[in-house]
Structure 1
Amino acid sequence: MSWIDIGHIEDIPLRGARIVKTAVGCVAVFRTAEAEVYAASNTCPHKGGPLSEGIVHGQKVTCPLHNWVFDLNTGLAQGADEGQITTYPVRLDGARILLDGDAVKTRSAA
């Protein structure tokens, strides 16, 4: 894995998200707890809603357009017939957020 430093954890509000622009599209980075972050595609597969503007609760995000709920661990939609978002490896190094650059290069984020 090739880790890319994308910012300080305090750059993302608790239960909020920020966007990282990549060559393959926007990746949303979600802060679900004081020291817990997840990264996933910013685009809902249902109607293209911006997930970074959704409601973050537990380890899930709810799309702001039609309330599809996605598990940030697996990317799977809950309560929908089908749907999944791409998730990306992300970790904390102290208070710095690191995103796996290799994974972002090989998968489409949008």
Structure 2
Amino acid sequence: MTLWIDIAALDDIPPRGARTIRTPEGCVAVFRTFDDRVFALDDRCPHKGGPLSDGIVHGHAVTCPLHAWVFDLETGLAQGADEGSVATYPARVDGGRVLIDAERLTRRRVA
């Protein structure tokens, strides 16, 4: 059984924007897309460590603000000619609240 933790109201995350969650292992970026879906990824680009939460959200992807690498929000995989990925974490919206899988957060890997 999944233990979901409440991290914010959906309205606390701007459409096509992000917020961060601090954990002992680093930050997780929580993104809200144009269609009010939420996704959670490590907040560190594997290329040069850029903060993905400061990136541009478009469709179901985010572009790193440092060197324009694009990551799929669902899979965490780099798009186009770039190679690499960021860890993803299950997230959902329930009753206007954003929930994230607590067990997956505690089992994070730091690259």
TMscore range, shorter length:
over 0.9
Letter in 1 for 2:30: V
d(CA) in 2 for partners of 1:32, 1:56: 7
| Runs of 4+ more than 3 Å apart | none
- Which has the higher mean CA deviation after the structures are superposed, 19-28 or 64-73? 19-28
- Which has the higher mean CA deviation after the structures are superposed, 28-37 or 39-48? 28-37
Preserved contact between residue 7 and residue 97 of structure 1 (Cα < 8 Å): yes
1:15-52 CA distance string (max 9 Å, x none): 00000111221000000024211000000000000000
Cα separation, partners in 2 of 1:93 and 1:83, compared to 1, 3 Å: same
Matching residue of 2:71: 70
Report sequence identity in percent: 62
Q: After the TM superposition, which residues 1-110 of structure 1 pair with which residues of structure 2 at under 5 Å, given as runs?
A: 1-108=2-109
Give TM-score, length-normalised by structure 2.
0.94
d(CA) in 1 for partners of 2:73, 2:11: 20
Judging by fraction of residues, say which structure has more strand.
1
SS of equivalent to 1:33? coil
SS of equivalent to 1:103? helix
Cα separation, partners in 2 of 1:9 and 1:108, compared to 1, 3 Å: same
Cα separation, partners in 2 of 1:109 and 1:7, compared to 1, 3 Å: farther
Give TM-score, length-normalised by structure 1.
0.94
Preserved contact between residue 69 and residue 82 of structure 2 (Cα < 8 Å): no
- Which has the higher mean CA deviation after the structures are superposed, 30-39 or 13-22? 30-39
Letter in 1 for 2:99: L
d(CA) in 2 for partners of 1:37, 1:108: 21
- Which has the higher mean CA deviation after the structures are superposed, 62-71 or 73-82? 73-82
Q: Which consecutive residues of structure 1, in runs of 5 or more, have no partner in the other structure?
A: none
User: How many aligned positions are there?
Assistant: 110
